Amino acid sequence: MNTLSSFTALDSNPLSKPRSLGPHHHEPIHLQRPRNVVVCSVKPSVAPPSSLRVSGSPNQGLSRIESLTQVSGVLGCQWGDEGKGKLVDILAQHFDIVARCQGGANAGHTIYNAEGKKFALHLVPSGILNEETLCVIGNGVVVHLPGLFREIDGLESNGVSCKGRILVSDRAHLLFDFHQVVDGLREYELAKSFIGTTKRGIGPCYSNKVIRNGIRVSDLRHMDTFPQKLDLLLSDAASRFQGFDYGPHVLKEEVEKYKRFAERLEPFIADTVFVVNEAISEKKKILVEGGQATMLDIDFGTYPFVTSSTPSAGGICTGLGIAPRVLGNLVGVVKAYTTRVGSGPFPTEILDKGGDLLRFAGQEFGTTTGRPRRCGWLDIAALKYCCQINGFSSLNLTKLDVLSDLPEIQLGVAYKQIDGTPIKSFPADLRDLEQLKVEYEVLPGWKSDISSVRNYSDLPKAARQYVERIEELVGIPVHYIGVGPGRDALIYK
């Protein structure tokens, strides 16, 4: 290991891209029961519709969106990859500002423009495809400048103008290539206990932030002191990890590179705390886009198999510098089943070939890394826990179309201890999570392609029963239902 570039392989994707089945392809799949089933109660039908049920129509959808509060947010309810970017892209047409409040390039949001062209975003907020939307990267985000510029270049080359439309907080911390190196080395040290990070350097960057020796965007305006600060970070990494070769030549190369970056970034830098709060006082509408999801929250997720930021509601205020009282509607995005990437407990996971079949049907491979996601049934117990933490006003149920052709669908409705004692809260202890049993309900499948359905009433009865049972169990209405990746593949309920 001679230079920083020696470590770039640690951040590469070892997997070849999966075979594409197409956005609406469905093969009949028969999934095995998870390893930790305790009860399966068959529910061929659900109770009469509750007051949460609302019939859907395009006009209903417009009314739903326009009724969202001045400051609204879209947050993930599981372990990420729920499809938040698509909803943000759709809602952005009705908001003045879309803002990211936490995370970094470990968040991957896939969106499609009106012509169906695919965009994979990591740092740029998902409102960028809407020409009138200002995109803000808040102080809570860690920013990898090479990655940000690649995204901007990619957008510009595809006809998406970014000039004057992206603001980067002067308080945001800079994530350097060496942070990615450290991330990979740290995972290697952990061996079988590895976290399963994206190796994008997020944790090491936040570590520097918390121990107060990080470098912020505003430091790029002071190139007289920048070299000393960067030298401190690199020297610390070299002393911590054997084989991390660091010398004056490395520092010189990095400083020269960041002088060029500083010049290019200058038009994007802003005091976003001031910008966002001024927009609030001017009655402009702001949509907050969360990265990752609540089950990866540093405090509330399945620690230590979590991210290093706060992707739950609390991260909005600290990551943008806005007061809690201005927050209004928060929409929780939940997949019609459950996935997670990396290590950690996963109570409703489907093992063996059953999980593989669901993975390929849903094309469950990471936007950022291409890694295959672990797959399982929808975990209602975890979803209720996320809803309690965030106070969601409504839910967006995504990828309902992926469950088409299943003869039956299971819902993990409750947790129990080995002796059958009910578990009322989501356990903090990893041992408890690994040992608990899941109580399942079995609902009928609908065995038909729903990707072209746009009105809720046109969904098969079994699909509507599934949606309404989720509402009944969680106590929060499902206002948006995704039935495909495209912008128009959304049902308003």
More confident: 432 or 25: 432
- SS3 of the chain: helix, strand, coil, percent, to 5: 35, 20, 45
Active site residue 209: yes
Residues 257-307 pLDDT 10s: 999 999 999 999 999 999 999 999 999 999 999 999 999 999 999 999 999
* Of 81, 89, 170, 219, catalytic: 81
Active site residue 179: no
Q: How far apart are CA 173 and CA 137, in angstroms?
A: 11
Q: Is residue 11 part of a domain?
A: no
Q: How far apart are CA 445 and CA 56, in angstroms?
A: 21
Query: Which run of H or E residues covers position 334?
Result: strand 330-335
* Of 26, 109, 122, 437, catalytic: 109
Q: Is residue 396 part of a domain?
A: yes
Whole-number pLDDT of residue 34: 54
Residues 350-403 pLDDT 10s: 987 878 888 988 989 876 678 899 999 999 999 999 999 999 999 999 999 999
Q: How far apart are CA 29 and CA 277, in angstroms?
A: 50
Q: Average pLDDT, stretch 451-455?
A: 96
Whole-number pLDDT of residue 14: 29
Q: How many domains does the chain have?
A: 1
Looking at residue 290, which CATH number applies to its domain?
3.40.440.10
pLDDT at 18 over 70: no
Q: Is residue 83 part of a domain?
A: yes
Whole-number pLDDT of residue 47: 38
Q: Is residue 70 part of a domain?
A: yes
pLDDT at 52 over 70: no
Residue 109 assigned as binding residue: yes
Whole-number pLDDT of residue 193: 64
280 secondary structure, DSSP code:
H
Q: Is residue 429 part of a domain?
A: yes
Q: How far apart are CA 133 and CA 336, in angstroms?
A: 29
Whole-number pLDDT of residue 28: 44
Provide the percentage of residues in the chain whose pLDDT is more than 90. Answer: 70
More confident: 242 or 121: 121
Q: Is residue 4 part of a domain?
A: no
By residue range, what is the domain housing residue 394?
A: 27-171+269-492
Residue 103 assigned as binding residue: no
Q: Is residue 75 part of a domain?
A: yes
Whole-number pLDDT of residue 17: 33
Considering only 26-40, 43-57, 216-230, which range has the smallest mean pLDDT? Answer: 43-57
Active site residue 222: no
More confident: 82 or 366: 82
pLDDT at 409 over 50: yes
Residue 108 assigned as binding residue: yes
* Of 26, 122, 173, 209, catalytic: 209
Considering only 198-202, 276-280, 338-342, which range has the smallest mean pLDDT? Answer: 198-202
Q: How far apart are CA 118 and CA 7, in angstroms?
A: 30
Residue 183 assigned as binding residue: no
Residue 142 assigned as binding residue: no
Cβ atoms < 10 Å from Cβ of 90: 22
Let me know: does 87 contact 76? Beta carbons within 8 Å.
no
| Bridge partners for 429 per DSSP | none
Q: Average pLDDT, stretch 166-183?
A: 95
pLDDT at 455 over 50: yes
Sign of CA dihedral 312, 379, 43, 356: positive
Q: How far apart are CA 94 and CA 69, in angstroms?
A: 11
Q: How far apart are CA 15 and CA 224, in angstroms?
A: 43
Residue 359 assigned as binding residue: no
Q: How far apart are CA 432 and CA 302, in angstroms?
A: 11
Taking alpha carbons only, the member of 323, 326, 294, 321 closest to residue 310 is 294
Mean pLDDT of the chain: 87
Q: Is residue 392 part of a domain?
A: yes
Residue 85 assigned as binding residue: yes
Residue 401 assigned as binding residue: yes
Residue 133 assigned as binding residue: no
Provide the percentage of residues in the chain whose pLDDT is more than 70. Answer: 86
Residue 484 assigned as binding residue: yes
Q: What is the pTM of this model?
A: 0.87
Cβ atoms < 10 Å from Cβ of 445: 17
Q: Average pLDDT, stretch 444-458?
A: 96
Confidence of residue 191 (pLDDT cuts 50, 70, 90): low
More confident: 26 or 427: 427
Residues 119-147 pLDDT 10s: 989 999 999 999 999 999 999 999 999 99
Confidence of residue 72 (pLDDT cuts 50, 70, 90): very high
